[in-house]
Chains A and B, each alone.
Chain A
Amino acid sequence: MIPELGHFALILSLPVAALVGVLALLGAHRNRAPWIALAKPGAQALALLVTVAYLCLTQAFIANDFSVIYVAQHSNSLLPLQYRIAGVWGGHEGSLLLWMLMLSWWALLVTWFSRNLPAPMLARVLGTLCLVAFGFLLFILLTSNPFERILPGVAEGKDLNPLLQDPGLIIHPPLLYMGYVGFSVAYAFAVAALLSGQLDAAWARWSRPWTVVAWIFLTLGIAMGSWWAYYELGWGGWWFWDPVENASFMPWLIGTALLHSLAVTEKRGSFKNWTVLLAISAFSLSLLGTFLVRSGVLTSVHAFATDPTRGVFILAFLVTVIGASLALFVWRAPSVGLGGRFGLFSRESLLLTNNVLLAVATGTVLLGTLYPLLVDALALGKISVGPPYFNAVFAPIMAPLLFLMGVGPFARWKHASIAEIARLLKWALAVAGVVAVTLPFLYGSWTPLVGLGLLLATWITLTAVLHFVQRVQATRGDAGFLAAALRQPRHFWGMHLAHLGVAVFVVGVTMVGGYEEEKDVKMGPGDTVTVSGYSFRFLGVQRVEGPNYVAMRGEVELLKNGKVDRLLHPEKRNYHSSMMPMTEAAIDAGLLRDVYVSLGEPIDRDQPEGEWAVRVYYKPFVDWIWGGCVLMSLGGLIAILDRRYRNVGRRGTATPAQEAAA
């Protein structure tokens, strides 16, 4: 009964989305107040219906209702409760429903936090969101219905993919989807602004916090996925340039460009067309990501949820969304105007360089991801593009970006002086150079890439601190330094924290890339292997029972200076229902390094308690990679708590000139 209720709610949401979408947009166009007034309650009703549908599916999972095909395929009565709840998004149909749920909640949030938005603008934003929702609902109902029944039901479910039975799964997809789908709000604001012709500083100010929130979720989602791959897949890497990873990274790169471009549009009124284009691109790339992951066109580790027939629908949807918004852009953009002029070297030109570099980076990732598909589609053979391509093109694009990150905050709007900035920053550059040349020798050897990475990380840190101190000193008057620092606007704190996060991230990437060590060895009970000063003594393997699996559990002593530091317990699991083997790595995490042990397989299959193939890793600074991402997100969070976003609308009509003074 409950699955039918969910199915009914989902069906009902389809006409609601269509009706609200069309009426809100038409109402705003023709200035019909009753139609415009419909947008808010309409979007709220849509959110309610989708939430009901989602909860019904969750209930079917909790109650082990194996007469629902989707539940039977992705759950099992032995599955622990938390994984039954998370199992809702463990497959294709459910993850699309989660996508839809997020979209309806974003629209709901817009209705709550938009009291100061003019009613026609709000109607256009919500109308656009509802039309996107309509497309997705149609897709779910026509091709991927999670509520389909099989009667009589099966006695036992197939179980959730063991890879997904991990706390990482509970958090990673929802975070990522919140980010993906969050760009729909920035997109809806851009479309609304194009429709109304109101592309101004107020528009940039409205869409900025929404964009930042989506970006925060996406940053955390990607970092979470990377961390999950690191400890769960047992490969010890943090990024593989897998097509699905790229699919989430492209919207992030463009989203980052959008954040910086919005800053210029808000403060100076420039870059308006470019900002709109970025907003459209960010959401289009999110849709492209969904298409790539869900259509089955990719060979990747994420291929557990694939079906080529569905790809055609998403592709058509993608073409419609991108085509319609680009057509709107071409039609409206010429009337937008250029905004404030700026000099060859200025805050604007530096942010433009940032945007161009991020866009080029996105283009190279797109090329590497889609090229194999293109070659395959043209029947020219099957190829793959390896990580060396991405590494080779990424470093030269990112290096100038990271260098300019240190310069940007010092440059004035309109016109900046190179000489003045050079005078201010020459010592920072000198110190960064010394660090880059000397510090690597503490770790044994110097390589150009390690030197470059440390140079840039130190440079970003020093310039951020310098800028922060300079600004506090300039505004402190008689107050103490700390008091004056705390009085600085939150967007200022946020920016520097996020930039410091980038520096921390760069340190992590550089050190892991330069000094990680890996050994695959054969070990019997009592054997010891040494990696980068850490000794691992293998004590043996025992059989243990889990709730829905049997595991061979290894016991490994980590020795430091000959003394036992910690006991590590890597596992090799076999899940009852699917008989899939799974590696659970054991990691001793630390601020300056991780050490990592995972079990391969028994040397002799008939003697699983004897010798094993074991993999050990030494990973210096690897946790800084994710720590840096957390800092970036925290910076974003602090920035949107800035006072000026609280009075959005009332001050939204202020001229760019007034804003420039702020």
Chain B
Amino acid sequence: MKARHKRIALILGALAALGLIAAFVLNALNDNLAFFYSPTDVKDGKAPQNKVFRIGGLVQNGTLTRQPDGVTMAFVVTDTIHDIPVRYKGILPDLFQEGKGVVAQGKLGEDGIFTANEVLAKHDENYMPPEAAQALEKAHQAGSGDAGAKTVIPAGGTEPAAAPRK
């Protein structure tokens, strides 16, 4: 009897510990998820205020400027329909370029400016981040009525700079 009670207590203890770990892990996961939104989603108000999320699209040509402090960069991310102004303090990745795909992670301010703490550009000049490609594709589908021909931008290979701007 006693040995059996001991075993049951042990199993219950192990289960409780496992449950605790699972709760803790899932909680940590929930706190650190960053959802992805396209510039159109952000303009539609789908993106959260004061929570970290990701945006993606193309860096609009001619919008990259350096702020007076010398290390803060400003640029516009577009899905060809809507634009989001972005600020980033720090050195941009080597493959960050105007007209190319980009993904940025950060928070949206009340002034509508997205302050990024991380900017991702991929390590191949032809590679397009899947999130950025998806944002463009969605925008194309939404705008295909007036754009005429449907263009599908695959996740890699094509020249994203060729995407038309209305």
Contact = CB atoms under 8 A, between A and B. Distances in A.
A364 interface: yes
Contacts of A308: 155
B92 A600 contact: yes
Nearest to B34: A384
Nearest to A394: B28
Nearest to B30: A389
Majority-rule SS of B interface residues: mixed
A367 B91 contact: no
Contacts of A385: 29, 32-34
A393 B71 contact: no
Contacts of A520: 71, 89-91
Nearest to A382: B36
Contacts of B127: 303-304
Of the candidates A161, A234, A303, A581, the one having the most CB atoms from chain B within 10 angstroms of its own CB is: A303
Interface in B14-67: 21, 24-25, 28-29, 31-36, 52, 54, 66
B91 A600 contact: yes
Chain A contact residues: helix, strand, loop or mixed: mixed
Contact of B29 (A367, A381, A522, A598): A367
Given A600-B91, A601-B92, A613-B71, 11 more contacts: A368-B29, A382-B35, A382-B54, A384-B54, A389-B32, A393-B25, A396-B24, A520-B91, A580-B124, A601-B91, A615-B90
Given A163-B123, A520-B71, A613-B91, A367 B32 contact: no
Interface string A290-308: 0000001001010110101
A583 interface: yes
Contact of A371 (B10, B29, B34, B103): B29
Contacts of A522: 69-71
Given A303-B127, A521-B70, A580 B29 contact: no
Interface of A: 161, 163, 234, 296, 299, 301, 303-304, 306, 308, 344, 360, 364, 367-368, 371, 381-386, 388-389, 392-393, 396-397, 520-522, 578-583, 598, 600-601, 603, 611, 613, 615
Contact of A384 (B36, B66, B95, B125): B36
A580 B127 CA distance: 12
B21 to A, nearest CB: 6
Contacts of A396: 24
Given A520-B89, A600-B91, A381 B130 contact: no
Contacts of A581: 94-95
Nearest to A380: B35
B28 A393 contact: yes
Contacts of B103: 299
Interface hub of A364, A382, A603 (most chain B Cβ within 10 A): A382
Nearest to B21: A360
A364 B91 contact: no
A383 B35 contact: yes
Given A384-B54, A603-B66, A392 B71 contact: no
14 contacts: A296-B155, A303-B123, A304-B127, A371-B29, A382-B130, A388-B31, A393-B25, A522-B69, A522-B70, A582-B94, A600-B91, A600-B92, A613-B91, A615-B90
A580 B95 contact: yes
Contacts of B29: 367-368, 371, 385, 389
Shortest beta-carbon contacts, A-B, top 8: A522-B70, A600-B91, A389-B32, A382-B36, A392-B28, A581-B94, A388-B32, A520-B71
Interface string B134-166: 100000000000000000000110000000000
B131 interface: yes
Nearest to A580: B125
Given A301-B122, A306-B156, A383-B36, A389 B28 contact: yes
Interface residues of B, number: 37
A522 B89 CA distance: 12
Nearest to B26: A367
Contacts of A360: 21
A191 to B, nearest CB: 29
B129 interface: yes
Contacts of A383: 33-36
Contacts of B131: 299, 382
A389 B52 CA distance: 13
A585 to B, nearest CB: 11
A615 B70 contact: no
Given A299-B131, A368-B29, A611 B70 contact: yes
Contacts of B105: 384, 386
Contacts of A601: 91-92
A583 B156 contact: no
Nearest to B134: A382
Nearest to A368: B29
A161 B127 CA distance: 12
A157 to B, nearest CB: 16
A603 B32 CA distance: 34
Nearest to B128: A303
A383 B125 CA distance: 24
A615 B90 CA distance: 8
B123 A304 contact: yes
Given A306-B156, A364-B25, A389 B125 contact: no
A600 B89 CA distance: 12
Nearest to A392: B28
A303 B101 CA distance: 14
A299 B132 CA distance: 11
A383 B122 CA distance: 17
Contact of A389 (B31, B95, B156): B31
Nearest to A297: B130
Given A161-B124, A301-B123, A389-B31, A381 B89 contact: no
A195 B66 CA distance: 66
Contacts of A303: 122-124, 127
A389 B25 CA distance: 8
Nearest to A384: B34
B32 A299 contact: no
Contacts of B35: 381-383
A386 B29 CA distance: 9
A10 B18 CA distance: 48
B32 A392 contact: yes
A299 B123 contact: no
Nearest to B33: A383
A344 B7 CA distance: 10
A161 B95 CA distance: 13
B31 to A, nearest CB: 7
A373 to B, nearest CB: 11
Contacts of B155: 296, 308
